[in-house]
Structure 1
Amino acid sequence: MRGYQFTGFNPDEQGKSRFDQLLNIFLQLLTYTSGDVSEALKWLNELDKQYSLTDDGYAMGDFIDDLKNKGYISDDQQTGEIRITPKTEQGIRKKSLEEIFGKLKKSKQGDHRSFKPGQGDEQNAETRQFQFGDMLEQIDFTESIRNAQINHGIESFRMQEDDLAIRETDYKAQTSTVLMIDISHSMILYGEDRITPAKKVAMALSELIKTRYPKDTLDIVVFGNDAWPIEVKDLPYLQVGPYHTNTVAGLELAMDILRRRKNPNKQIFMITDGKPTCLKIGKRYYKNSFGLDRKVVNRCMNLAAQCKKLKIPITTFMIATDPYLQQFVQEFTEMNQGKAFFASLDKLGAFIFRDFESGKRKTVF
């Protein structure tokens, strides 16, 4: 006789099919395995053995078949390797967004509102007299004709500059953000996985901007010995390498990207767990992992000062508690007049979300 099996009550799982419940776990595992489907399924099998995630009615083979039929995974025709599809990549981003930021409704308009009028795309009820430099499309012709009739009469109708009325628009602050992610070897040292929370934050932030702030831009830069940009779709596959920390290269690339952005508001978010230890001088790498090398630190400070002149605030999220590292971050922040957070791994997403949201309520000129 089969007995009863008791499990913990999870209100979020109620009403979900067995496939949806397993898919939720599968997407989480893909983040930890950097998009390796085979390893994620292997881990899922181990969890199934330990916690009985499936039963005779719906086994692991059924779940894999459903993943293929629903377009979440596909077989590479050349290598035979199982890969995730763009649908799964978007699912991982949405899962990260829900986990860190909560469910957000999709908006067709950028939602960075301020209390000052300016060039925008949403009209309000206020009008004012025409001034030199106003655009033709800003003229409220109904109100302008009404003014002309009042000022000159219907019989001798004419319109002059003093009759023109301008319809105000609500200013919306558009922001260009560069998110820098440290992928040096220290991000997985000492038995602590720091790269996975950083990836989750990046995926959640990208999905947040796409759904709630579609007029904003987000560029992602990773830095180790060198720095290079990556696409949002590449985030699930991001891995730590045997690199030192070339913060200078990351900042230089971030500044170069922001120079090409036309938005008036620009900012850099930097997630790192250690000190800068590397510079590239010509074709040669200058490295020093012992203490704070003044040659490297001074270059970082110079870039922080340049960003300040360009009105690009840098917000540093430091995943480290060493006092001398905190002192470096404080000096770096003071030089840029930005912000710094000494965030724990489980609070990293909340820190970045609050700072990103608060930054949208003000405009940097």
Structure 2
Amino acid sequence: MNSRRYSYGPWHDGPDPLAPPFDLRAALDEIGGDVMAGVSPRAALRELLRRGFADTAGLDELARKVWQRRRDIQRGHRLDGTLQEVRELLDRAVAAERAALFPDPDDAARFAEARLDALPSSTAAAVAELADYPWRSETAARDYERIKELLGAELMDSRFEGMRQALRNTSSTDAERIGEMLRALNDLLLAHLRGEDTRERFSDFMRAYGDYFPERPRNTDELIDVLAKRSAAAQRAMNSMTEEQRGELGGLMNQAFGDPRLAEQIATLDANLRALRPGEDWQSAGRFDGSDPLGFGAGTQALVDLGQLEELAEQLAQSYPGARLEDIDLDALANQIGDESRVDAQRLARLERELRGQGIFEQTTDGSLRLSPKALRRLGETALRDVHAGMDTRLGEREAHRAGAAGEPTGASRAWRFGDTEPWDTSRTVRNAILRGTAAGQRAVRLDVSDVEVMETEQRSRAAVALCVDTSWSMVAEDRWLPMKRTALALHQLISTRYRNDALQLITFGRHASVVDIGELTALDGTWEQGTNLHHALLLAGRHLRRHSDAQPVVLVVTDGEPTAHLEADGEAVFSYPPLPETVARTLGEVDRLTRLDTTITLFMLGEDERLAAFVDQLARRNGGRVIAPDPEGLSAAVVGDYLSTRRR
């Protein structure tokens, strides 16, 4: 057979298939914390994206930078730069001309001086008045030509992006080509406005004048979109000026390149674009109150930037129906507030995709989101890890090591010791013999007593665990809501991963008690509900224990208040504060029934209520149970530790 040849190189077809999965642990912990605080999963996701994570700026920070950029533009500039520059050039030209006329004694020089003296105060009118003036000073003539070139560049730059740079040192031939481009452009737009097929005409136009359009539009509609945005921004720039400034600038633009026909073509272009894109903002005005003067072209760009910033602010707010992070214009974002913002927005979008794609959320039948079992496991791992860090003992410590096959294998092995009767771990024993023989140069495999390893076993007892947690309003008001949920998550994770034979039931009790799964408890909202119905909770716990009569009974109660409600025979809850004697009697009666099942109740008392302390002492004496008074942050470690110690006993 011919040997096959393989070549290796970088992967180009989509995402790297060998790349590690996106790490969602920190993000999920934050979302889980918000959900346990009563926030919906959808709102928690939205809040995380607004806040950001790790070293990634959130939507709020990006929006802040966008609005800061907007304020900088408006507060740092004003729009009279062209008027100011033209006035300076005009004054310099007139001064140079006067200096050239002063030594000349003839009447023509005096007549020219009189003409200069009679120039109108209006800059636009003065420039128009001097259109046919025979300059004697070459310096003055150059300055006046610079005025016309400046006006032409500003006029074109206000309608075509980047045109000012292309029009440096413009010759008369260049100005004539610009006029031809404008006439061809208006013809193209009019044809499109009439509904004609302009594809061929567009191609011809771009071949002839494509160098004026760095955006490289692909069809007539894209060309119109590009031009309409800038034309509308130019109109908004005019709207932002005073009436006097608008009049001056409008008059000056007739002198662009010394050819009034260019201004006429621009006016026609604006009219065509307004008819084609009436939805653009042609009416509003910006407020500029800074000290840095901007020319008309730069001012138009400032209005373009302001419009782009407002669009970005709306995209970052994500407040419109169907909003997605993919809606954010990354190029515009990078252009306005820096390339790092593009990276942040991409990371946020990827985080949202990964949270949905990796099954962190599930959609319910009513369209809302909830945390998936995978997410709950992750939150449980975090809660259990935090508990482990706060405990002195090792979580999952084996209850009892037993010899022989009666115990369950743990998966670990150890060297055989005299007196051990555990079964051999055959594969590891043979491996040890092979490794020892190979090191000694032996070809045959011979077992030695030092090679023998035995399987570790442990005798496990099965437990039926009822965790009863208080969900009355005081738990929320006293900031005990989150510690309670973390406790349930940690215990659920421990039992579901390390003590799978144990039967755990989660019971919540407020005015009524109910059995919930870990997902329901995690997403449970705090409600204004008076009543601590421990009687109902212990009743449900007793049913759970009787269903698992072969298991060791464990009842753990977390509460911050004495019983103030009990359940009647018809299922109605009776609430009273101070508690009714009947409430206390029924609760203690249920305690007695659990005691007869050989159940030891551990009650975790939160807070320092004297009436609660008196009640739990009474309960502990009747049941022979324990009372533990942890602070909220130590609740998880106290509950998990008590569960482990109960199983060991």
Query: Which of 209, 219, 231 is the aligned partner of 2:517?
Result: 231
- 1:7 matched to which residue of 2? none
Q: 1:119 to 1:177 in 2, by over 3 A?
A: farther
Deviates more, 1:111-120 or 1:83-92: 111-120
Partner of 2:351: 63
Aligned to 1:133: none
Q: 2:33 maps to what in 1?
A: 28
* One-letter code aligned to 2:534: T
Once residues 92 and 359 of structure 1 are traced to their aligned partners in structure 2, the CA distance between those partners, rounded to angstroms, is: 25
1:98 counterpart = 2:385:
yes
Q: 1:202 to 1:50 in 2, by over 3 A?
A: closer
Query: Is the aligned partner of 1:349 residue 2:636?
Result: yes
Aligned twin of 2:492: 206
Higher share in strand? 1
Worse-matched range after superposition: 38-47 or 258-267: 38-47
Q: 2:463 aligns with which of 175, 178, 193?
A: 175
1:53 Cα deviation from its structure 2 partner? 4.4
Q: 1:48 aligns with which of 41, 48, 52?
A: 52
C-alpha distance in structure 2 between counterparts of 1:29 and 1:248, whole Å:
31
CA deviations over 1:219-251 (Å, ceiling 9, x no partner): 111112222211233222123332411111110
- Structure 1 pair 115/298, CA: closer, same or farther in 2 (3 Å)? farther
Contact 2:29–2:379 (CA under 8 A) maintained in structure 1: no
Contact 1:268 1:313 in 2 (8 A): yes
- What secondary structure is seen at the aligned counterpart in 1 of 2:588? helix
Q: What is the match of residue 479 of structure 2?
A: 193
Q: 1:325 aligns with which of 608, 612, 617?
A: 612
The verdict on how the C-alpha distance between 1:122 and 1:196 changes in structure 2, with shifts beyond 3 A counting, is same
Which stretch has the larger CA shift, 251-260 or 85-94? 85-94
1:312-332 deviation digits (Å, cap 9, x = unpaired): 010011112012211111111
In structure 1, give the amino acid aligned to 2:587: C
Aligned partner of residue 648 in structure 2, secondary structure? coil
**Do 1:30 and 1:236's aligned partners in 2 also have CA atoms closer than 8 Å?**
yes
Q: Which 10-residue stretch deviates more, 299-308 or 269-278?
A: 299-308
* Residues 290-327 of structure 1 deviation map (CA, whole Å, 9 limit, x = unaligned): 2x432211222222222222110100111120122111
**Letter aligned with residue 287 of structure 1:** F
Contact 2:27 2:53 in 1 (8 A): no
Structure 1 match to 2:593: 306
Separation (CA, whole Å) in 2 of partners of 1:309 and 1:87: 39
The structure showing larger relative contact order (alpha-carbon pairs under 8 Å, at least 6 residues apart) is 1
Amino acid at match of 2:608: T
CA drift of 1:340 comes to 0.8
Contact residue 117 and residue 171 of structure 1 kept, 8 A: no
The partner residue of 2:563 within 262, 276, 281 is 276
Q: TM-score, normalised by structure 1?
A: 0.71
**1:39 maps to amino acid:** A
Aligned AA for 2:613? Q
- Tell me which amino acid in the other structure corresponds to 2:36: T
**Residues 172-192 of structure 1, C-alpha deviation per residue, up to 9 Å, x if partnerless?**
222111000111222212xx3
Which letter maps to 2:486? K
From 622, 626, 629, the equivalent of 1:339 is 626
Residue 251, structure 1, aligned to residue 251, structure 2: no
The structure with the greater share of residues assigned to helix is 2
**3-state SS in 2 of match to 1:101:** helix
Q: Does 1:113 align with 2:399?
A: yes
Deviation at 1:33, TM superposition (A): 3.1
1:88 matched residue in structure 2: 375
* TM-aligned CA deviation for residue 24 of structure 1: 3.3
Q: CA deviation at 1:92?
A: 2.0
- Pairing partner for 1:220 from 488, 506, 515: 506
- 2:38 and 2:524 in contact (8 A); partners too: no
Matched, 1:287 2:575: yes
Does the Cα contact within 8 Å between 2:398 and 2:458 map onto a contact in 1?
no
Residue equivalent to 1:155: none
The 3-state SS of whatever aligns with 1:71 is coil
Query: Which residue in 2 is equivalent to 1:134?
Result: none
Of the three residues 37, 41, 52, the one matched with 1:37 is: 41
- Asked if the contact 1:314–1:338 (Cα under 8 Å) also holds between the matched residues in 2, the reply is yes
Q: What SS is found at the alignment partner of 2:511?
A: coil
Is the radius of gyration larger for structure 1 or structure 2?
A: 2
Task: Please tell me the residue identity of whatever aligns with 1:90.
Answer: R
> What is the letter of the counterpart of residue 28 of structure 1?
G
Task: Give the letter for the 1:277 counterpart.
Answer: T
Q: Which runs of 5+ in 2 are unaligned?
A: 1-19, 59-339, 391-395, 410-418, 423-456
Per-residue CA distance 1:150-209 (angstroms, 9 max, x = gap): xxxxxxxxxxxxxxxxxxx964222111000111222212xx322221111111101101
- Of 37-46 and 303-312, the range deviating more from structure 2: 37-46
Q: Which residue of 1 aligns with 2:115?
A: none
Q: Percent identity?
A: 24
Cα gap change, 1:73 to 1:307, in 2 (>3 Å)? closer
**How much does 1:254 deviate?**
0.3
Distance 1:208 1:201 in 2: 11
Offset, 1:280: 2.2
AA matched with 2:593:
Q
Q: RMSD of the alignment, in Å?
A: 3.2
Residues 170 and 28 (structure 1), Cα distance of their counterparts in 2 relative to 1, 3 Å cut: closer
Q: Number of matched residues? A: 296
Alignment match, 1:159:
none
Any unmatched runs of 5+ in structure 1? 1-14, 104-109, 128-168
What is the alpha-carbon distance in structure 2 between the residues aligned to residue 16 and residue 102 of structure 1?
27
Within a 5 Å distance, the mapping from 1:253-268 to structure 2 comes to: 253-268=540-555
How far off is 1:58 after superposition? Answer: 3.4
Partner Cα distance (1:179, 1:17) in 2: 35
CA contact (8 A) 1:255 1:307 kept: yes
The residue identity in structure 1 corresponding to 2:31 is F
Q: 1:117-176, CA deviations, whole angstroms, 9 ceiling, x for partnerless residues?
A: 89944389559xxxxxxxxxxxxxxxxxxxxxxxxxxxxxxxxxxxxxxxxx96422211
Cα gap change, 1:51 to 1:299, in 2 (>3 Å): farther
Q: Deviations over 1:72-117 (max 9, x none)?
A: 23556x65544433322222222222222359xxxxxx97523678
Which stretch has the larger CA shift, 340-349 or 44-53?
A: 44-53
Distance across 2 between alignment mates of 1:236 and 1:361: 29
Counterparts of 2:641 and 2:480, CA distance in 1: 20
